[in-house]
Chain A
Amino acid sequence: MTDQQTILLVDDSENDLVLMKLAFRKADFTTPLQTVYNGEEAIAYLAGEGRYSNRTQFPMPAVILLDLNMPMKNGFDVLTWLRSQPSLRKRISTIVLTASVRPEDVERAFDLGANSYLVKPTALEDLIAMIRCLRDWLRINHFPPLNEYVKR
């Protein structure tokens, strides 16, 4: 992957988004970050609806960092929607990034097709270390091309 592939960050917490961006900076991870604040926005972004139809401004992400607890459709709803998309469902990498350590949430996330489950650490330095991992992985991972066709 090049550093130009977009990561879509889905989280309803302002604080967490600020800290994430800080951690990305501290980890020397310069990949473009797009942020949306809930599940509905995330689906709209991925479907290219409304303002998100402008793919120059809002490019299709290769990776989604997905929080679970959100209003207006939560992380599980986004995963469910992705599964219904014949072209996107297997090709887009979904990493759940949540504060929840509940086993049933882990199970459900994977059952709905998540590729990874990460728990938000409390300490900032641990978050930075995690983002470094993510950065290294993204650099060595090969990503498939994405078909923009979206099933309504």
Chain B
Amino acid sequence: MSELQLKDLYDGFRDPDVIKALAQTITNEAKQLKEPLKIMEVCGGHTHTIMKYGLKQLLPDNIDFIHGPGCPVCIMPKERIDHAIALAQIEDAILLTLGDMIRVPGSTSSLALERAKGRDIRALYSPLDAIKIALENPDKKVIFFAIGFETTTPMTAALLEQVEKQGITNLYFHINHVLVPPAVDAIMADGQAKINAFIGPAHVSVISGAKIYQPLPKMYHAPVVVSGFEPIDVLQSILMIVRQKNEDRCEMEIQYSRSVTLEGNTKAQEMIAKFMEPREHFRWRGIGDIPHSALGLREQYAAYDAENIFADILPTEPIDDHKLCICGTILKGLAKPNDCKVFGTACTPNNPMGSCMVSSEGACNAYYRYGEV
């Protein structure tokens, strides 16, 4: 077997001729659609692909996208960001987190600002790097601010497993892992959302399995196709949705079959279940309180739980977004980012007023960056 090449990650999934041919087939078959398609791509990764590759421009007018809540940085409410800032301000603390979290503004500061003031805040590429940092700094409190959907949760669990095994006592966890299905339910709950099909997340499904979307087609009369992140993946998934509609089917299908199975990664699921359990509720920026929509550490791991250990200094009051922000409406497909009064003026990626402008996977951010040329 030959060595895995980096180009194997994308080669063949961006072929211009295949993209053109798929777009043409979709355009032909979409003529038969009885009603316009409003597809929600749940995951921010798909939003990014659709905008970056300009896929909407290749498709007919009766296919539209509604950009979902699947960006873990975007949905973090301000009070949780304030938690990160409060933790970073503890004397002798090193705060670790992932990527975009660093620049997301909380109520009065951001991790980037705190770092500039001299706090020790580091962005990790792999959560397991936290072990090295904890071992190198035995006199410091190392706090891992864990974020992400089902995709990144196993890495946090694996880190905790190692911490326990190696007897590391100066590494704490602030868990913000959120779950896809409850968020979809929350958006669809009031019956106002104009969504009649779903593109299911890619990497989330590798872990949790496509089985988590099985109830959706029946509940909301909307097909679900679990899709990969490359432009050809997304176009093929759209074609599968169009065909379901034209053939009067309403099912869950897997386009991303090179990585996703129905059951998912059961080993990872077991590891998550060992350390974490669903919280009673969790507030989502732009959507509000959603029951059982996030995970927290189980009680027997309270000694590692930063929310427990540092409870005294963590703010508890919910902080809402500015009242001009319409992220909630955008997430339901009732408005587009450029319908918002503050889009691109008072609300920009450098100074986001609402969740969807925060990270490159948020709908408003993607519109701002790539625009509609």
User: Do A and B share a complex?
Assistant: no
* B binding-site residues for A, Cβ under 8 Å: none
